[in-house]
Structure 1
């Protein structure tokens, strides 16, 4: 009997140990992107990037904010002296993860040739500094930006673009794969191809029209195929980590549920934003409704069966979910005649309007029930309130941002409790920075940055997020 109890105890301990080893940690973090925070746009042999070109030579921000702004300096996070201070702020905050992107135009300045050792060495040191601080690097290989020389060759409209990307991504993975455990292939293809490029196409951007105006669906499909190729390559290298893809997932809802046109428009918008990328990855096909509706704009697009099988076979190890607000949609007579309503949080109080955290819960549960419950990290979630992001003395009180973050975390943890496979939450962003076409007019950081002096000041939301992390540190 004694021996039996001893054996039972040993087996129980072994089982508990195995379960503990299988349990994934929960990552609390903040997120940035290289172009938005690094600055140093001509340092260490960096080449001109797509966004260097758009901001310096085209003036893309003037289309939305009335003045030309660039990220040539931004918040100077390429400088090690500066980013070491920022790592200390992350430690103070209590995060154990930092999502950041690499700059393709730094690493391979001409897009397709030899790698720049100075840039590779810089990111080597950054990764080591993060690991030494106990912060897990989530490395985004591609976050909207790439060398301008490739832009002039048509970017994703050029059939050679996948090979250029594979060369770059392979360089990165082989260099850092022994110490980086979480890579991200691409950030938000829907935003890149269906929103930003639509805006650029409407302007005089001095780009080669034939290549640049190639259909969005052809470009999106090309990027999904490239995503599958680099995932396969990563696994063939037998590295001890994971590689994933980040999608912006925005459930859509009708402005007026009583109006059939609004309901139809919301359904179509939901399919276009979400199913258009989730379905090929997890189900092996594009949603018919989206393809039928997009034929007008993408008449030459076809999706070969072998492509769809390859995309599904080499799906991401995890899915990054970027969520800010649902798409509240008004429709006219047809699903294609629709418009998003104003999702500016400043136009409403934080408990109404576009701040609807329940929709984050809904998309997480949808991933659980409709898409096989993949491993998920919330890779971006945040907001900016111009009325609050004002420094008064030495303080920035931003209770609406704190409320926004708290309620979205509450719904994230509710979904996790109900079986959604969620293992991390990251705020966009740790710092005020260059917010793409909004330039410096929109602040989304937990840390206020004086863009003239580079001085950092944690906002009240920084301390409120810190308390949330401390409360859930054993999650």
Structure 2
């Protein structure tokens, strides 16, 4: 069998998000987030599921960190729950919320696991949403206060920082498609929110530099790949729009100081104007240390008028699919790496999410998730190909450590290396956990 070797300094680990794993939704001063409100509204989440308990990591974090330690993880990416820190979004600080994250971070450091702290993974305080949410520029100010608090509290303990996770989802899935909290369907709103998210990112990075915070800071970007069905200009342009909507719209302002004109024009033709105030782009264009790459799927696609926002349709070409019905297209990850390198130069890349949803079943105390192992093998091969091609990839984080609350899908879709019984909250290591542990320990894998 061929051996795929990885660099000795590769940073291996896993990732989670606060609302998906913590639970304890109404404890120790935490207030409602938009996801509490959204998930408790009938019809928004499958089976009426919500994150009230989730994996109960708020209480079981020592057990979960032991799982990371036994895995051999070098890095653990988690997010801070904004409404735990500032229950009103701004104003009065909640010491109990801060204390939880200090205990979490201290235990990670004690185990030799580097914390990667994400400031925002979609759980906006409901009190801010009541004032307009991310459509209101005041939320950018509130985020800056929150970010400054977290930077100051964890300076020296945390070396890897991320500002905003997957702004495409927070803007468009949440405010145009309406499938994520807060659940609106307004393109102008989505475009406004997208700009304020990028602005909040820029403000946070500037604060990070001004405060002299230790470590490296980046963002975590949705990525995908669309291979044109044909060489027709309309097919190629449609695929460019899809890739660019994920990547260019959110990274061009940071690296180029402008939004991609072709998408500005596209949204304008769809009825949504981009509103940028004087000085915004200067703030946004703060140098970052790495790009966080979140990748799950890709496809072959072509132009089709009046299909979705971008006039594009996917063509299923006999790809295997994960249980959430996303095509498995590992070559797309390899192409994304090259796309980022060609568009933004030799900035380090950190795979901050990559993983597969499988129909996991606990049989005789075991979960034999060979489909997930195969998915990881395919995508880690793409990672190795990119490294061998000279692209600076510094780490890989599997999504996710635990089965968890999968947003609008509820608890029916599992991504974890560890199986969670959502009745008893018992954890069971899956076959993929043991496989990944070997990869981390060896620094290579067989394919």
> TM-score if structure 1 supplies the norm length?
0.86
Deviation per residue, 1:216-248 (Å, 9 max, x gap): 222211221221111111111112211111101
Q: Assess if the C-alpha contact under 8 Å between 2:175 and 2:189 holds in 1.
A: no
Secondary structure of residue in 1 paired with 2:178? helix
Q: Assess if the C-alpha contact under 8 Å between 2:39 and 2:49 holds in 1.
A: yes
Alpha-carbon distance change, 357 to 111 in structure 1, aligned in 2, over 3 angstroms? same
1:180 aligns to 2:151 (yes or no): no
Alpha-carbon distance change, 273 to 165 in structure 1, aligned in 2, over 3 angstroms? same
Structure with more of its chain in helix, by fraction = 1
Q: Distance in 2 between matches of 1:78 and 1:457?
A: 18
Alpha-carbon distance change, 237 to 334 in structure 1, aligned in 2, over 3 angstroms? same
- Equivalent of 1:278 in 251, 256, 272: 251
Q: Distance in 2 between matches of 1:362 and 1:443?
A: 27
Would you say how many aligned residue pairs link Structure 1 and Structure 2?
A: 437
Task: After TM superposition, list the pairs within 5 Å mapping 1:8-407 onto structure 2.
Answer: 25-61=9-45, 65=46, 67-79=47-59, 82-200=60-178, 214-254=188-228, 256-257=229-230, 261-303=234-276, 306-312=279-285, 314-333=286-305, 336-340=310-314, 347=321, 354-386=327-359, 389-407=360-378
Q: Distance in 1 between matches of 2:236 and 2:318?
A: 22
Q: Distance in 2 between matches of 1:40 and 1:244?
A: 29
1:379, distance to aligned residue in structure 2 (A): 0.3
Q: Assess if the C-alpha contact under 8 Å between 2:90 and 2:145 holds in 1.
A: yes
Q: Distance in 2 between matches of 1:58 and 1:247?
A: 30
1:347, distance to aligned residue in structure 2 (A): 4.6
Deviation per residue, 1:13-49 (Å, 9 max, x gap): xxxxxxxxxx994210100000000001111011011
Alpha-carbon distance change, 83 to 353 in structure 1, aligned in 2, over 3 angstroms? closer
Q: Distance in 2 between matches of 1:52 and 1:333?
A: 37
Q: Distance in 2 between matches of 1:278 and 1:327?
A: 22
Q: Which runs of 5+ in 2 are unaligned?
A: 1-6
Match of 1:408 in 2: 379
- Bigger relative CO (Cα 8 Å, ≥ 6 apart): 2
Give runs of ≥4 in structure 1 deviating > 4 Å: 201-205, 258-261, 340-349
Q: Distance in 1 between matches of 2:147 and 2:350?
A: 21
Q: Distance in 1 between matches of 2:177 and 2:49?
A: 17
Q: Which runs of 5+ in 1 are unaligned?
A: 1-22
1:136, distance to aligned residue in structure 2 (A): 0.5
Alpha-carbon distance change, 100 to 177 in structure 1, aligned in 2, over 3 angstroms? same
Structure with more of its chain in strand, by fraction = 2
Q: Report which of the two structures shows the higher radius of gyration computed on alpha carbons.
A: 1
Say what the alpha-carbon RMSD is for the aligned residues.
Answer: 2.8
Q: Distance in 2 between matches of 1:88 and 1:382?
A: 21
Match of 2:4 in 1: none
Deviation per residue, 1:413-452 (Å, 9 max, x gap): 2212221111000010011000000000100001111000
Alpha-carbon distance change, 347 to 325 in structure 1, aligned in 2, over 3 angstroms? closer
Q: Assess if the C-alpha contact under 8 Å between 2:78 and 2:116 holds in 1.
A: yes
1:199, distance to aligned residue in structure 2 (A): 2.8
Secondary structure of residue in 1 paired with 2:395? strand
Stretch of structure 1 that moved more, 431-440 or 356-365: 356-365
1:112, distance to aligned residue in structure 2 (A): 1.0
Q: Distance in 1 between matches of 2:295 and 2:239?
A: 17
Q: Assess if the C-alpha contact under 8 Å between 1:325 and 1:343 holds in 2.
A: no
Deviation per residue, 1:273-297 (Å, 9 max, x gap): 2211222211222111111110034
Deviation per residue, 1:98-120 (Å, 9 max, x gap): 00000011111011111100110
Deviation per residue, 1:58-94 (Å, 9 max, x gap): 5520xxx3x2111101110000xx2211111111111
